[in-house]
Every structure is written in structure tokens, then in C-alpha cells.
A and B are shown apart, each in its own frame.
Chain A
Amino acid sequence: MKRIGDGAATRIGLIALAVIMTTLFLVIPLAGIFYQALAEGMAPFWQNLTSTFTREAIGLTLLIALLTVPINLVFGIFLAWLVTRFTFPGRRLLQTLIDIPFAVSPVVAGLLYLLLYGRTGWLGSILSEQDVQLMFAWPGMVLVTVFVTCPFVARELIPLMQAQGSAEEEAGVTLGAGGWTLFRRITLPNIRWALVYGVILTNARAIGEFGAVSVVSGSIRGETINLPLQVELLYQDYNTVGAFTSAALLAALAVVTLMIKAMLEWHTHRREKTA
């Protein structure tokens, strides 16, 4: 088939331009992270990586992701089921509300929570009387991360479930299946890749969130410093190798995320072709 822009000169020229620009714009910064981390050799890199400070930051980062991902996974499934399988007044409004965390600056997200749960906020003042403090503590960091990442799973599921329609589930019901059987045996197998994809995106953002978390963290060493905040802190202290060591760790996670994503896409692509 002959197509526009298939001439050899156009083709090679455009591909070359794309590769060069991607290299300049994306590959060099990515490589730069690892280069900076190892700029003074393996020893300082290893020392930074295994320090208590880094270990604590890793621990907190994992804790946040570990709590955020399941919460948003469950919420995303319920929301997608609700808006794709039923019609009810306010359905569009609900879908728009869910996009808010996407649209606003992460600093606004942090600020909303600080205003609510901070000592001056109405809920925060009630809670502080009970000696519960959410802000400038890890629970607050989890809360804002849940806020920031709540659209990811639902946004992956909704278009897919809408396209698939509910005929298979209706067939399941006429055959006598109850709610849980229906979900586990019919819905889940059809959406599992989108679900994994949504989880990956949620996880990546939960690990890497900076703006919202920095507002509610209070930067207490050993308590409320996660990896991205540690990167900032060390960088401001002119500890470049230290900052880039943690940055390299996060970048490695990002690369793993991209690899899983590429594998999933390849997988679903192949399935579509055989189907």
C-alpha cells in the first residue's frame, strides 16, 4: 500500500529527527541521572544507597505506595462498575469530579489537606483534641497521595468496560451467577490487563509524588521524608551524589515501570490480533 510520507527521504529524515530529539530531550537526562550518581565512583554511591537515611526514605515510600494502591484499586473498580454498568442522575458529574486531581496542581492538593487537617482546619482541630495529628506525619502523606492518584485505575477501566458492554455479564446473570461469581469469572478476566496497567500507573505516581507530599510532610528526618523529598533535601544541601543516588533508584523504578507497561501493551496487542 502506498501512503503519504512513505518516500525514502521523508521517512529516513523524520525517523532520524525523532531519534535525535528523543535522545536530546529524554535519553540524555535519563543517562545523566545514573552518570551523576556514579560520578565519584561506586563507593560513595553504595554508601549513600545503604545509609540509614535512604533506608528510612525507602521504607516510607513503600509504605505510602502499599497503602495507596489497594485503596485506589478498590475504589477504581467500584467507580468503573458504577458508571459503566448503570445509568443514574449525576453520572457525568461524578466522572468530572474524579478528573479534578488530574487537573489541579499537586501543591493545591497538598494545600486542601493542610487546610482541612492542619491545626487550624475544622477537622484538624477536632482531631488534635484527640491527640491525632495527620499533617506533618505519614498518614497525611498517604491521604494526599490517595487524592492525587485516585483517577488512574478508573480512567483505565472506564473506556474499556464501556467498549466491552455488559452483554457478557447479562448472560452470566441469566445463567444464575451471583455478584461475586460474575465479577470474578466474567468481568475480572476481561479487564485484568487494564487493571494491572492502572495499578502500575498508580504505583509509579505514588512512589514519585513530590509537590503534594512536600506540602504536608514537614520534612521530619526519619519520619516524613520519602525518596522524592530526600532527593530535594540532599540536593539543597549540595550533596549532589547523595541526591542522584536516590534519584537513580527512583529512575530505575521508572524504567521498570516502562518495561512492564511495554510488555502489557505488547500482550494486549497480540491478543487483539488473534481475536
Chain B
Amino acid sequence: MSITVSDVSRRFGSTTALHPLSLEIKQGEMVGLLGPSGSGKTTLLRIIAGLEAPDSGSIHFGDRDVTRVHVRKRRVGFVFQHYALFRHMSVFENVAFGLRARPAGERPSNAEIRDRVQHLLERVRLDTLAKRLPAQLSGGQQQRVALARALAVEPEVLLLDEPFGALDAKVRLELRRWLRHLHEEFGFTSVFVTHDQEEALELSDRVVVMSNGRIEQIDTPQALYRAPANRFVFSFLGETNRFGGKHQNGRLQQGEAWIAMERSNIAPEEVLLRPHELMLTTAPDGRAHLPVRVDAVSPVGSDVRVELTADWMDTPWLASITHHDFDRLQPERGSELYVIPSRWHQFAPESP
């Protein structure tokens, strides 16, 4: 089931949560709505679900206009941020709720309900915990109950509000992969909200980056990371180092520090650099003169993160270098080094 959002807007009192925006989500796609808090991503998700009504615009599921269809009749699976499990019901009854709530004529028989719930619980690997109450489960297990409950009514659209927000890092990673598998297996269309760029980039077929009630960019994770549409998207998608200065004689200069470059018309006074785009050396060369002091070193994971300070920076920089480079340079707190940027990015200044 494809989802079409056309010119949807929403205000709460005097604040505009969503400026008119449009979005196409294809059948079977998994789309992440990514943005900081207050960007309108949750409002958009709730409007798609029917938990909020838009002030203007329309929502279509396939060809069906569902703008005025009550959430009860929309057939969406919704996974709430803190799961909203029915705390007084067992895991089994939670999952069975949607089936039992159907009007008498459409309700499956008890045996059928039992089979279907049992099957779903096996799917989410909770069949041994069917009799437990939600409070007796771990966060990850609760999350899986919430998913099974939403899937029990066989929705064509699955919507998830910060699905992994309340879980610790390890469980998060596991559940992410599992959700991806489930999505591919069941073939429904999924939309989820997150403020974690890593989560959005790993899970989604396409990512919708939002800020201040507007869509900043819609793209595949690769395209998004490689070609961010604007300064906001760039800085939201990863660690960002900023170099600001004045252009003179083919250099962007700030005090004693400079980078050799042509004058850019888009952003004449600043460049942005990712941590992995910084090379550390013991001497400057013709490409740049950026003297820095090492402030902290943390060898985490596949590369080493080095925090750098200097008088010409407004905020400290972060470089990530390979273990190979780390062994060669042996940087430690207080070491004096030079940065040579391998690449940089320039964007038009953000309009406030």
C-alpha cells in the first residue's frame, strides 16, 4: 500500500508544527522520518495514522482518500513511543486485543485467534512468555510485544514512533536488524520516526530529513550522506567541524590558519569538514596550514577519535583517523600537529 501525503499542514495554537508538505511513499518501502525534537516528524506520523487531523491537505493510502477516515478504520499498525502496552493484560491478550475488538460478525473464532496470536508470538520469539504481564518483560521484549500487537490486525501500513528510543545500545542494534527482516518478510509499507541519524541511515530505504515543520531533503541514505542538500542536513547527519574566515589571495584565512581554495560564491566565509576528512600530519604543506593541539584521544571501534583545539577555532574539532595513522603519529594529549583536509563542503548560510 503506497502512502501519498499532499500539502499537509498543522498548527497547534500559535505554533506551526507542519508547513504544507508533500511526500510519496511507495508500496513496500521503509521510510525514516529524521529530525531534531520539534521538527514535526512525530506530528506527520500521527497525521498519517489518523491520530491527528491535518489543518489542510490530504492523505491517500493507494487510491483511497483516508483524510477523513477515523483511525479505527484506517487499518494502520502503530507502535507507540513507550509501547503503550495494556499493562493489566498478558502478552497474549495484548496481541489478541485487535482481533477480539472486532465487531461480532468479523471476529475470528477463539481457536483462530489463539492460532494467530501463537504464530505471531513465535515470529517475535516471545511464545514462551505469552502469560507474562508487560511489567515483567525487558524493554526489548516489550517492544516486540508492541510490534506483534500492531501486526495482529494485518495492517498494510506500519507506523513506528521512536521505536528504539528507550532501549540500550546493544538491544537497539539487534532489534533494528530484526525489524528490517520482518519488514522484508511481511512486505508492508513502514514509516518510522527517529532522531538518531545512524538508525535512520541503517534502516531506511529512503530518509526524510525534517526541521522546523519542513522537509529538508528526501533521499536514499547513500545519496543523503554523499550529497546533502543544505547545511542543516549536512550538520544533522554527522559530526561537523567548521572553519570560518576571510577569503584573500586564494586562501580562506583565519588568523595564522588557512586553507588554499578558490573563492566560493555559495558560502564565501566558511567550510564544513567531516572528522574522517581530516588528515593529521607533523608538518603543514601547500594545501593548508592548520596548527592544532591534541586535547583528547579515544580509540573506540574501527578508528581513533582525536579531539583538537586551537585559538583559531570557535569550537573544538573532531578528527577520526585509522589505527594505522594513530600508530604512526602516536598523538597524545598536548601533541602539536597539523591538519590537512582531504575534502570539504560548502553550503549557503541557513536562513533563520
| Chain A directly contacts chain B within the complex, with at least one CB pair under 8 Å | yes
Which residues of A are interface residues toward B (Cβ below 8 A)? 167-168, 170-178, 181, 185-186, 189-190, 274-275
Q: Would you list 6 pairs from A and B whose C-beta atoms are within 8 A, ordered by A residue?
A: A170-B51, A171-B85, A172-B97, A174-B72, A176-B75, A177-B101
B86 pairs with A174, CB closer than 8 A: no
User: Which residue in A167, A168, A173, A189 is a CB contact (below 8 Å) of B72?
Assistant: A173
- Closest-by-CB residue of A relative to B98 is A175
A176 pairs with B84, CB closer than 8 A: no
A170 surroundings in chain B (CB, below 8 A): 51, 78, 80, 84
- Closest-by-CB residue of B relative to A274 is B135
A185 pairs with B97, CB closer than 8 A: yes
B168 smallest CB distance to A (angstroms) = 20
B87 pairs with A275, CB closer than 8 A: yes
B49 sits at the interface (CB 8 A): yes
B87 surroundings in chain A (CB, below 8 A): 168, 190, 275
Given A189-B88, A274-B135, the answer on whether A174 and B49 have CB atoms closer than 8 Å is yes
Interface size class of chain B, counting residues whose CB lies under 8 Å from the partner chain:
20 to 34
Given A181-B101, A185-B97, A275-B135, the answer on whether A175 and B84 have CB atoms closer than 8 Å is no
B304 sits at the interface (CB 8 A): no
B146 smallest CB distance to A (angstroms) = 8
A129 smallest CB distance to B (angstroms) = 49
7 closest residue pairs by CB, A with B: A175-B98, A167-B84, A177-B101, A171-B84, A174-B78, A189-B88, A275-B135
Which residues of chain B (64-110) have a CB below 8 Å from chain A? 71-78, 80, 82, 84-89, 97-98, 101-103
B153 sits at the interface (CB 8 A): yes
A274 smallest CB distance to B (angstroms) = 7
Given A170-B51, A185-B97, A275-B135, the answer on whether A177 and B72 have CB atoms closer than 8 Å is yes
B101 pairs with A174, CB closer than 8 A: no
A167 pairs with B101, CB closer than 8 A: no
A177-B97 Cα distance, complex, nearest whole Å? 8
Given A170-B80, A185-B97, A275-B135, the answer on whether A176 and B72 have CB atoms closer than 8 Å is yes
B86 pairs with A171, CB closer than 8 A: yes
A190 surroundings in chain B (CB, below 8 A): 87-88
A156 smallest CB distance to B (angstroms) = 18
A140-B89 Cα distance, complex, nearest whole Å? 44
- Closest-by-CB residue of B relative to A171 is B84
**Known contacts A174-B71, A190-B87; can you find 12 more A-B pairs with CB under 8 A?**
A167-B82, A168-B85, A171-B86, A172-B86, A172-B97, A175-B98, A176-B73, A176-B98, A177-B72, A177-B101, A185-B101, A275-B87
B308 surroundings in chain A (CB, below 8 A): none
- Closest-by-CB residue of B relative to A186 is B86
A174 pairs with B150, CB closer than 8 A: yes
A181-B78 Cα distance, complex, nearest whole Å? 19
User: Which residue in A167, A173, A174, A176 is a CB contact (below 8 Å) of B102?
Assistant: A176
A275-B80 Cα distance, complex, nearest whole Å? 20
B101 pairs with A175, CB closer than 8 A: yes
A186-B150 Cα distance, complex, nearest whole Å? 16
B77 surroundings in chain A (CB, below 8 A): 174
A171 surroundings in chain B (CB, below 8 A): 78, 80, 84-86, 149
- Closest-by-CB residue of A relative to B101 is A177
User: Which residue in A168, A178, A189, A275 is a CB contact (below 8 Å) of B101?
Assistant: A178
B102 surroundings in chain A (CB, below 8 A): 176
B82 surroundings in chain A (CB, below 8 A): 167
B80 surroundings in chain A (CB, below 8 A): 167, 170-171
B84 surroundings in chain A (CB, below 8 A): 167-168, 170-171
Question: Interface readout for B223-266 with A: 1 if CB under 8 Å, 0 if not?
Answer: 00000000000000000000000000000000000000000000
Name which of A172, A176, A185, A190 has the most chain B CB atoms within 10 A of its CB: A176
B135 pairs with A168, CB closer than 8 A: no
A158 smallest CB distance to B (angstroms) = 19
B51 pairs with A175, CB closer than 8 A: no
A189-B93 Cα distance, complex, nearest whole Å? 13
B153 surroundings in chain A (CB, below 8 A): 175-176
